[in-house]
């Protein structure tokens, strides 16, 4: 049990589909993050939310749309993805935003395959 739960664990979708990834944390944290993990690349920060407000969009294409309805829940809405978007998508949380906000607690990720 990591304290951060991601669903689904695996997702296969076509390029014309619309799907959503869900992340939930009950650690009392105020910052939540989406990371993309691809082979041979460092973990890439996609979005940061602090107290439900988006504080960073790291030049992510608009086919990825985040939503943070409250400090405990984070979604990543996906539409018209490309095969190169296939990756492990990790959600994380920390007490507050930024490296000084405490260590990151990660979920186990959603393995996304775009066909």
Partner 1 sequence: TQLLEQSPQFLSIQEGENLTVYCNSSSVFSSLQWYRQEPGEGPVLLVTVVTGGEVKKLKRLTFQFGDARKDSSLHITAAQPGDTGLYLCADPSGGSQGNLIFGKGTKLSVKP
Residue 74 found at the interface with partner 1 (CB under 8 A): no
* CA 90/CA 75 separation, integer angstroms: 11
* CA 48/CA 32 separation, integer angstroms: 6
Residue 90 found at the interface with partner 1 (CB under 8 A): yes
- Supply the DSSP string of 7-53, one letter for each residue: E-SEEEE-TT-EEEEEEEE-S--SEEEEEEE-TTS--EEEEEEETTE
Q: Which two tokens stand for residue 23?
A: 């992340």
For residues 19 to 58, the per-residue mask of contacts with partner 1, x marking binding by CB under 8 A and - elsewhere, is ---------------------xxxx-x--x------xx-x
CB atoms within 10 A of CB 46: 20
Q: Near partner 1 by CB under 8 A, which window of 11-19, 68-76, 78-86, 99-107?
A: 99-107
Residue of 25, 64, 66, 97 that binds partner 1 (CB under 8 A): 97
Residue 60 found at the interface with partner 1 (CB under 8 A): no
Contacts (CB under 8 A) with partner 1, residues 3-22:
4
Q: Which residues bind partner 1 (CB under 8 A)?
A: 2, 4, 40-43, 45, 48, 55-56, 58, 90, 92, 97-100, 103-109
């Amino acid at each position: 049990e990591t304290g951060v739960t991601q669903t689904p664990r695996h997702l296969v979708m076509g390029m014309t589909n619309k799907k959503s990834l869900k992340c939930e944390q009950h650690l009392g944290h105020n910052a939540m993050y989406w990371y993309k993990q691809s082979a041979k690349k460092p973990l890439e920060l996609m979005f940061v939310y602090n107290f439900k407000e988006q504080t960073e969009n790291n030049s992510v294409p608009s086919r990825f749309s985040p939503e943070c309805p409250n400090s405990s829940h984070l979604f990543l809405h996906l539409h018209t993805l490309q095969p190169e978007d296939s990756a492990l998508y990790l959600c994380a949380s920390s007490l507050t935003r930024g490296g000084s906000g405490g260590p990151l607690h990660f979920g186990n990720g959603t393995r996304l395959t775009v066909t």
